[in-house]
Amino acid sequence: MNTTTLSNWLLYCRPGFERDCVQETQAKQIEAAVDSGFVVLQGKPRLAYAQLTFARQLIRLHGEVHELPERDRLTPLLAALPTEPQQFGALWLETPDTNEGKTLSGFTRRFQPLLEDKLRASGRLVDAGASTVRQAQDSARTEHLPRLHIFFPDKNRALIGTSDPHNSAATHMGIQRLKMPHDAPSRSYLKLAEAFEVFLSKEEQEKWLKPGLHAVDLGAAPGGWTWQLVQRGLKVIAVDNGPLKGVAADHPSIKHLRQDGFRYRPKQPVDWLVCDMVEQPAKVAALMADWVASGATARAIFNLKLPMKKRVTALTDALNGMRAVLDAKGIRYRLEAKQLYHDREEVTVFLARVKR
């Protein structure tokens, strides 16, 4: 009889979405306190980060230290490190994304260099920050070495785990830190900026976000997403019965149409469709699937506003509805969904046609 060894996982999420994070993995819940910003699960030996919507980070757990002494946290943490893997490409000390977690940030900043020095001295940390004659070779190797995570739910406890650089978020705590430009019409500018960073590689951004390309922004007012596209050199048709604000109101690269976003269609296919309209997720998903299936756009990024209850069910139904439309027409596509750091009660979705 074949048996599968289960693994313990640590996942970060937006506080308040712990239950959704557990539900979508279909794994056994070990710890998932409401508003804690993290969950501990027991599940398959391999989970796919890209297929998880509500998880900000995916970490394989190796151990835990309870009752950390205030005067010497270093010794018990070093003793609890796993023997395998033998080397790490980075050390990340992390805390929950909560008000309580923020109070620990000063401690982690002070503690980080002490632990790094010990790990480097023992040859277990091979990071680009190490000052060695083999620094260039080490820098290349870190792309393939697992990261070491030490997560402090509070000052007395630490969860120790590792993440695969190719199956996890590439940012500390799974959060994209972005700067808000002074001239952006709204903070929604950051949502689309983060979506590009999460869904697109650097090469894809250079290829698909460049001057000369055309986009449509449905539900554009007051203009945050439109302004993000314009800043990357695209020409934008902004569709909304409401007004655009600030620099977006009369910019030469923006054509504002006061029309219903659900009825509008461009005369010619466009490179991008973006949409942040407040409507039922199934209705927005159906609209996006129609644009891509009909060839009106090559790719789309859009938000799905989720209900307070049965979020995973509503999201699954919306995504499956899109898949059904595209599959019926034999269209190859790429579909990914993430609850971004700058999202609230919504998730952001990327959909693109894939050439055969």
Residues identified as active-site: 305
Q: Contact, 95 vs 106, CB < 8 A?
A: no
- Where residue 35 falls (left for φ over 0; alpha for ψ -120 to 50; beta otherwise) is left
Strand blocks (E) in the chain: 7-12, 28-31, 38-43, 57-65, 90-94, 147-154, 157-163, 214-218, 235-239, 254-257, 270-275, 297-305, 333-338, 346-353
Buried b (16+ CB within 10 A) or exposed e, 79-92: eebbeeeebbbbbb
Angle between helices 224-231 and 188-199 (to 10 degrees): 50
Local structure of 202: helix, strand or coil? helix
Q: Please measure the distance between the N-terminal and C-terminal CA atoms of the chain and give it in whole angstroms.
A: 41
